[in-house]
Amino acid sequence: MEHADVWDERTAQAYDAELGAMGSAAVLGPTLDRLVELAEGGAALELAIGTGRVGVPLAARGIRVSGIELSEPMLARLRTKADAEHVPVVVGDMAHARVPGEFALVYLVFNTISNLLEQSEQVACFRNAAAHLAPGGRFVVELWVPDLQRLPPDRTAAIFSVEPGRIGLDTYDVLLQHVVSHHFRFGEGTEAELFRSRHRYVWPAELDLMAQLAGFALEHRWADWDGSPFTATSGSHVSVYRLPVDGT
């Protein structure tokens, strides 16, 4: 299934309504605070900006925000919140599309780098981020830590969420580092709806090597946007990579 088939009109229309906690002030507040701090007054580029969950309120904070987005239905939803003058967006692949100008900050949130299903494409994404940055610029990646401890021996599936009206199930291909997330939604009757998305999971050490190949060095790694320490039991991380200040 291609990216355009997953992030289609139907998914785009439902995306904001189904964000849950990820769209709340409790999550967005620390995210925006940290991005403003890391941008240091410079321009920011969001890869896979989607419907503008982060990019639009970041622009409202006074940061000059641009974006790259492959899904035109997702971009159409963003345009209901901000026009092209305030948040310009290039339609294209986050691993290769280029945006005019030079940026102090490039960021990629909510596990989105895992939407690139080949290691080579994830490496290309780091290189594309570096190509947009001024010397000393930062690339920020928010990503979950692969939780293979939940996977029983000789099994390829694990439940990751059980909520009223929703069950989440991941199926793994540990050879290719691929996972398919299955989101089952159901109501009072017998009908159910299934949404699936494919990902390539990445270990933090592998992500660091991708960064080195693109000329970055790890500056910070936190468990969350509030700067809490990253530990062996952390389920996700916010990693900040920086280019050399002298550009060499």
Residue 113 lies in a domain: yes
Please compute, for residue 84, the number of CA atoms within 13 A of its CA located in the half-sphere on the CB side: 5
pLDDT of residue 166: 87
pLDDT of residue 8: 67
Q: What is the CATH number of the domain that holds 137?
A: 3.40.50.150
pLDDT of residue 1: 42
What are the 10-residue block averages of pLDDT along the chain, 248 residues in total? 58 64 77 97 97 94 96 91 93 96 96 94 98 98 89 85 88 90 86 86 96 98 97 95 85
| Three-state SS at 212 | helix
Task: Check whether residue 124 and residue 223 sit in a common domain.
Answer: yes
pLDDT of residue 211: 98
| Three-state SS at 107 | strand
Which residue range(s) make up the domain with 164? 148-198
Task: Check whether residue 95 and residue 157 sit in a common domain.
Answer: no
pLDDT of residue 11: 73
Task: Check whether residue 28 and residue 59 sit in a common domain.
Answer: yes
Task: Check whether residue 153 and residue 206 sit in a common domain.
Answer: no
Task: Check whether residue 126 and residue 15 sit in a common domain.
Answer: yes
pLDDT of residue 26: 77
Residue 59 lies in a domain: yes
pLDDT of residue 49: 95
The number of folded domains in the chain is 2
pLDDT of residue 217: 98
Task: Check whether residue 74 and residue 40 sit in a common domain.
Answer: yes
Task: Check whether residue 12 and residue 71 sit in a common domain.
Answer: yes
Task: Check whether residue 8 and residue 45 sit in a common domain.
Answer: yes
pLDDT of residue 94: 96
- Those residues with Cβ within 8 angstroms of residue 188's Cβ, 6 or more apart along the chain or in another chain: none
**In 3D, which of 52, 99, 97, 54 has the Cα closest to residue 79?**
52
Angle among Cα 141, 166, 162 to the nearest 5 degrees reads: 75
Predicted TM-score (pTM) of this structure: 0.89
DSSP string, 37-53: HHHTTS-EEEET-TT-T
Task: Check whether residue 87 and residue 194 sit in a common domain.
Answer: no
* Angle between helical axes of 204-213 and 119-132 (0-180°, round to 10): 50
Residue 248 lies in a domain: no
